[in-house]
Chains A and B, each alone.
Chain A
Amino acid sequence: GENVEQHPSTLSVQEGDSAVIKCTYSDSASNYFPWYKQELGKRPQLIIDIRSNVGEKKDQRIAVTLNKTAKHFSLHITETQPEDSAVYFCAASRETSYDKVIFGPGTSLSVIP
């Protein structure tokens, strides 16, 4: 079945540095790739997503890139801040109503002040 891998599992960066989280997916028909952020003890929340018809999308300090040929996509956070500390989940899905979103195992990001 569909599988999403995510690396690294843990990541520590100094405040102000950049953080990159990488994911790969197995289903070549996947065309929707959301990212969720889960702060400690809270629910996951959608922070950004990308569709297969674009290669990059930015929202302030967050950007996602997609390489459909290699079945890779990545989350880039610039100028990290302590409030960026959280677990980040990548996910993949086909863009049809009945399809399910498959999540990666998560990356625990710590931003050190």
Chain B
Amino acid sequence: DAGITQSPRHKVTETGTPVTLRCHQTENHRYMYWYRQDPGHGLRLIHYSYGVKDTDKGEVSDGYSVSRSKTEDFLLTLESATSSQTSVYFCAISDRGYYGYTFGSGTRLTVV
């Protein structure tokens, strides 16, 4: 489905625990992004990657880390989950870096 999958689709976790979300693509696109979506804030960029092992911070990167060891996988880790990180997380891919993002189906994360 659209060459991009996110896992898990839903997760409930406790405050203080680490959490890893996975984004997997089959399009061989160079650029991958993690966004979070919250009411009233739209889509805010957390981290992005412009190649294997090449990553950079977005506008809301505090409390998050990422890794990209293969072209197809981009992992987002919440090092110690907090209630403020309850959100819907979207991964996106692009072959040009700014044009024509394809989004994954999203992961709904609840931190209790």
Contact = CB atoms under 8 A, between A and B. Distances in A.
A73 interface: no
B106 A43 contact: yes
Contact of B103 (A32, A43, A106): A43
5 contacts: A49-B99, A95-B98, A100-B33, A100-B45, A106-B42
A69 interface: no
Given A43-B103, A44-B103, A99 B98 contact: yes
Interface string B26-50: 0000010101000011111100101
Contacts of A103: 35, 42-44
Interface string A42-74: 111110010000000000000000000000000
A9 B106 CA distance: 22
A29 B33 CA distance: 22
Chain B interface category by residue count: 20 to 34
A103 B2 CA distance: 21
Contact of B43 (A1, A32, A44, A49): A44
Contacts of A44: 43, 90, 101, 103
Interface of B: 2, 31, 33, 35, 40-45, 48, 50, 58-59, 90, 96-101, 103-106
A108 to B, nearest CB: 10
Contacts of B106: 43
Contacts of A97: 31, 50, 96-98
